[in-house]
Amino acid sequence: MVGHNIDEGYEFMDPWAQTNDVFEADMRIYEPSINNDTLQYLSNVLYPQIYDGSVGASVVGFPNGYTTPTGRMDLLITEGFFTCNTYWLMTAFNRQFWSYIFTVPPSLHGQDIVYTYYDGPNYPSVENNTLAEIMQRYFTNFVMTGNPNGPDVPYFPSYGNDNTCLNLNLTFIGTVPDNAANERCDWWQKGLYG
């Protein structure tokens, strides 16, 4: 069972990556053996300097794509260091298992932890106790039976061929396609930056 948030990368990105020069210089530090052609592909094709919101990985409730240099580097860190992993794990295990996306705004990295370890009403930073209890039932059902589903929780379908994830939000729980199942994550998996 895997899970990811939307804005995983925001707390880990370089806030000074506001120009393409710094963007590419940072990439050369993250991956010192990246060659120039690969870097240009990353910079011009995968995460280009297009700020109209058309480049990105949206989920219901979150806007499409990035509109600033910050958003551009944020998306690269989010996908390359975090969310692509969950997509790859689902495909590696024949799509038989379960994947959720925690989308409680702003869905920063680590924001879900207080829900996983929720300890009762008034637990700090938990904005919806019901959501926390449902999440804990998914985890404990999975631990006990190998399946997160049970009588007291909304149906959680397995990943399947259409990349189905369960969207965990403050006001609803429903299925959405995996926003990490995209061409950028397919490229990262090839390890061409090495």
Partner 1 sequence: MTIIGESAGGGSVMHQITAYGGLKGPVPFHQAIVQSPGFQMTPSAYHEESIFQSFLTTAGVGTLQEARGLTSDQLQLANWKIVGESYPYGTFTFSKTPLLSSEENSRKTRLTSFDNKTLRSTATSSQTCPASSS
**86 φ/ψ sector (left φ>0, alpha ψ -120 to 50, else beta):** alpha
Kindly tell me which of 25 and 170 has the beta carbon lying closer to partner 1.
25
Kindly tell me which of 37 and 52 has the beta carbon lying closer to partner 1.
37
Nearest-angstrom CA–CA distance, 6 and 11: 12
Least distance in angstroms from the C-beta of 33 to partner 1:
4
In this structure, the number of other CB atoms found within 10 A of the CB of residue 34 comes to 17
Least distance in angstroms from the C-beta of 54 to partner 1:
26
Least distance in angstroms from the C-beta of 52 to partner 1:
26
- Helices in 19-120 by DSSP H: which ranges? 20-30, 36-41, 69-77, 84-92, 113-116
Least distance in angstroms from the C-beta of 191 to partner 1:
3
Kindly tell me which of 4 and 164 has the beta carbon lying closer to partner 1.
4
Q: Which residues bind partner 1 (CB under 8 A)?
A: 1-5, 8, 11-17, 26, 29-33, 77, 80-83, 85-86, 88-89, 91-94, 96, 109-110, 112-113, 116, 139, 142-144, 146, 188-191, 193-194
- DSSP output for 141-152: HHHHHS-S--TT
Kindly tell me which of 53 and 106 has the beta carbon lying closer to partner 1.
106
Which two structure tokens, joined as six digits, stand for 38?
Answer: 């690969």
Nearest-angstrom CA–CA distance, 172 and 45: 35
